[in-house]
Structure 1
Amino acid sequence: MERQEIEAFLTLAEELHFGRTAERLGLAQGRVSQIIKKVERTIGAPLFERTSRRVTLTPIGRQLRDGLLPGHRQIQRAVAEARVAARGLTGTLRAGYSAPWCAEILIAAADLLHVRNPAAQVQVTEVQLYDPLGPLRAGALDLQLTELPIDEPDVTVGPVVFSAPRALIVPVGHPFAERASVSLEDYAAEPMITVGGGAVPAYWHEHHYPSATPSGRAVPRGPVATYWHEILPLVSSGKGVSPTCLWAAPYFAHPGIVHVPLDDAPPIEYGILWPTARDTPAVRAFADLIRQAAARRTDHSSGQ
């Protein structure tokens, strides 16, 4: 059996659906059928039972699948490990994150890397929002996964990895807390508590903590926090409200606050950053693994 025949057979044995198999392999559905028929002629027996409603493996098909699968997986691992080694992914990579859901994606990407190259390690470190690019520029990090936009001449920004809905943190008992959602125009109703610091790019701050609503109404300013965690007690104490990612709700449960979805705000986009001067094959290879891990995470979370 040729490689394409083995891959087509094993993929169909997993999917049990010609359309999905064709999509995964990047082939026409008719081509998949031709390949499977050729394999069946080579074996000398049907490998699949086909009806108008379902596809199932025959006993001989199951026997062939069980015999081929371990060797095929071993070949895939060997090829993946060789590719990782060729890209220079050895030693320790230092990856930063700005939110716990970003950390989970980095850890999942590190697990993928470890499977493919046990000699490579990833050190995951939190980056504070008041200085979002400081560790990267200081050489303490090789790359990071964080909120966009970032537009700096010395920083390379990869494509958007995932996006997440926005919410507004309000005190329990506030009129907004009883609503199913709020709008960007509601920003003008209460002081906005923000994260500040001299190192925060002005355009980033305006994007996440706007000074005016879409209609041009001024957004009153409340206290400025140095660390994001300081915002929660300020909100619960009635000092104002603060925008955030809706995914923060289960991670940062705090007595006295409610996360209310924003119904008209664009999602928060997250991307991978690295210093342009330290653009290496290892960084780009790990960035690819981050995108893979993010796709799995967001697919799993699509229902929330």
Structure 2
Amino acid sequence: MLKLNIQNETSRLRAVVLGIANSNGPAPSVEEAYDPKSIEHILAGTYPKQEDMILEMEALDAVFKKYDVHVFRPKSIENYNQIFARDIAFVIEDKFIKSNILPDRDREIEAIDYVIAQIDPKNVIKLPEKVHVEGGDVMPWNEYIFVGVYTGDDYPDLITARTNSYAVEALQELFPNKKVKSFELRKSNTDAKDNALHLDCCFQPIGKDKAILHKNGFLIEEEYNWLVNYFGVENTYEISKEEMYNMNSNIFSISEKVVVSERNFTRLNTWLRQHDFTVEEVPYAEIAKQEGLLRCSTMPLIRD
């Protein structure tokens, strides 16, 4: 049996689900795309090629092996995007919580049934249908669970709005001993630079007490300020609109000291090294074209 344990974003990683790009299918049409960044690349003819994305994911897999992390991969479904393992489920403490995601993506969870079969069934949670939530919006951080939400009246019209207020209530019920804190995110179906698809597109804790933030990703300034105060100005790294667009906040922690980052994030990677992080650089710029990066393609199961 898998003994799940996730208390935060940065403790030493022992087991993870990493998505796959093996049979990603042809580039989708504009109508089939789920986010403005993908649409941009479809229209420009620069949508990522399957073979490039496979190489990028293998580079990440190699880093996990170097650090002795047990890696599970989904079973391949033909012509199906299975890169973003974070969206389909997430782990908090010893609970495996299935996301209620876009209906088009239901089959993704079936591809990791063999992993779910190794978890105590009483710890596998299926949320009520009205609860919309994706793993990219959920961040366990010790006594807190940070959740990115959108509660505007136009929620049903925004394909980029993935997590609703029912998710906040459901998580608080599931984890009464934690403080669930929600953050309203800026959404746009049309402008990728004004769209925080998930909370991890504009915020991520790193190390013991540091955070990467992008102010414009938050709709309510007080909520952004709360995070700055919580981590401390000296411990926060503010990214620009362009850096958010390139997914600079979507790196991934193997431990409090080791982070995996995209090799082109020069400014961020320099800052991380100045703050005593070991930075494992991988190529991930093609996958980034689908508005997801390293955190989005991983689902941690066990951290020490």
Instruction: Name the TM-score class by shorter chain.
Output: under 0.3
Q: Which has the higher helix share?
A: 1
What is the TM-score normalised by the length of structure 1?
Answer: 0.25
Largest Rg, 1 or 2: 1
Choose between structure 1 and 2 for higher RCO, CA contacts under 8 A separated by at least 6 residues. 2
